[in-house]
Homo-oligomer: A and B are copies of this chain.
Amino acid sequence: MNRIKPLALTAPIALSACNGTPDKPNIVFFLIDDYGWTDSSVQYGEQLYPYNLRFNTPNMQRLAGMGVVMGNAYACPVSTPTRACMMSGMNAARIKVTNFTSLEKDKPSDAIGGAPGSVNPNESDIFANPEWNHNGICPAAFRPDSARLGLNHTAFVTPVVQLLKDAGYFTVHAGKAHWAPAGTPGTNPYNYGFAVNIAGGSNGHPRSYLGADNYGNTKDLWDLAAIQNMVEYYGTDVNLTEALTREALKALDYPVRHNQPFYLYMSHHGTHTPIQRDERFVQKYLDAGMSEKEARYASMVESVDWSLGQIMQWLEERGVADNTVILFMSDNGGQSVGSAKGGEDHTQNLPLREGKASVYEGGIRVPMIFYWPGRTKARRENVPAMPEDIFPTLLDIAGVRSFSTVQTIDGVSLLPTFLEGSPIDRDLVFHYPHQWRVEDQEDIDFLSAIRRGDWKLVYRMHTGALELYNLKEDIGERHDVSAEHPDVVQSLAAALSSRLKEWDASMPIVRESGLPVPMPDANTRLSP
């Protein structure tokens, strides 16, 4: 365990007067929200699927035509865990930020056990909520003040952005933060080492994408999810995705002028709910016969694609494209319930099973493209990637070899995989010990999973059931082959149990016994 004292954030650091470091590449991390694996005209799978045909994403295609398209990139089932993993390098189960954080402090977002209106008589009532870090993550520099600040249920970490800033990067946060609730230092991008923050706070989605709605800043719409610092565009027809793009590029003017390397975390709220038209793009989808909801979503997808294109064009115009790495990704699988996007529930990520919040592939498999001009070749790559890999990958790109952290890093650098297709030998662990919504969804709530090679084991805490899928033959996880491969089930259940135990992972509490849900290898089926 490499638990080392954190670097003091305010310690003066000796840097030479000459700070031009053109050897360090600029990094644009372009992250989209709730954006599914097939929500693109880019092919991530072994084939094009029907959903791919719905979308028009020419800039993503252009990037894919130059970079590495990752076919097996993963995120956590929901937003905050992915972002916490990226910032810390830890697996979500170890950091115990396994669900999204609320707008306000000390309010676990779990949909049972005291959530408003959560009188739901279904089987999840056999569980009480787990203990988890529902106040999210926080930079380790604040740990000494945690008692005074009331920072319980918080994971303190050395943020990767701070290490990039320490290495000379001009670090820009644009868009969604969502690492922690309001009223905590973890909610503030500046505390993570960002030199500029455009609009990041505790909100996991906007109240509105429309300038006409002031992005939620009207008397009728306002709540804590209203978008901050976009006053210029109030009352205009500028969509939030466009406004964030414009502001992000303004922020890059300083480092480009000064020949200083920059890290842009372009963290779009799109394509999260509310699903609203981007008027610039919607008509063609309506004309193509899509329903209003489907066309709205497709216009939001094209809106983030437009943003990517704007950034690429700007990099070229400013003469820094050749020295800028672009990493493109989504923070979890596409939303597939509630029908906000149209269509029948649970079908929006076909052929993948389920969607956001589930450990089935629809909830965790996400688009990812990596492009390093002159170093990557256009190709598809199937080595799996995890969100905790972002931490060491960013430092590897930046050439930061020596650093210390208060936390143990679970991720590994993806750079050798991106550049040379190097395999990574490891099991992938996903853990969601929560009920997502008041309406229990048995394919979403209280699930864990482990993937090894093409095998994937899913543990259903509701019933204790273990399911086994062969992803190579059955990407849709339709055929449980656990009965045919008891040895694989046993081995993977043991491996998953071992990880969860080692990490002291959060587990729901069985109401009847008052004890945590048994480990996957306990081979004990709960009575329904």
Contact = CB atoms under 8 A, between A and B. Distances in A.
A319 B236 CA distance: 45
A185 B19 contact: no
B19 A182 contact: no
Interface stretch (A115-123, A217-225, A348-356): A217-225
Interface in A155-194: 165, 168, 170, 182-185, 187-188, 190-191
Given A182-B214, A253-B10, A257-B13, A232 B191 contact: yes
Nearest to A186: B232
Contacts of A20: 16-19
Q: How many copies does the complex hold?
A: 2
Given A190-B250, A250-B190, A258-B260, A232 B183 contact: yes
Interface stretch (A195-203, A272-280, A369-377, A467-475): A195-203
A515 interface: no
A321 to B, nearest CB: 13
A251 interface: yes
A498 interface: no
A231 B165 contact: no
Nearest to A105: B235
A360 to B, nearest CB: 34
Nearest to A20: B17
A528 interface: no
A234 interface: yes
A12 interface: yes
A233 interface: yes
A12 B234 contact: no
B254 A183 contact: no
Contacts of A9: 253
A427 interface: no
A247 B233 CA distance: 24
B219 A223 contact: yes
A318 interface: yes
A259 interface: yes
A15 B10 CA distance: 28
B18 A231 contact: no
Interface string A264-275: 000000000000
A410 interface: no
A165 B254 contact: yes
A183 B234 contact: yes
Contacts of A242: none
A201 B231 CA distance: 6
Given A188-B232, A235-B183, A195 B15 contact: no
A514 interface: no
Contact of A185 (B149, B201, B229, B232): B232
Contacts of A125: none
Which among A9, A165, A257 has the greatest number of chain B C-beta atoms within 10 A? Answer: A257
Nearest to A14: B257
7 contacts: A12-B319, A13-B257, A15-B258, A19-B19, A182-B234, A195-B253, A228-B228
Given A16-B20, A190-B250, 4 more contacts: A149-B236, A170-B254, A187-B232, A222-B222
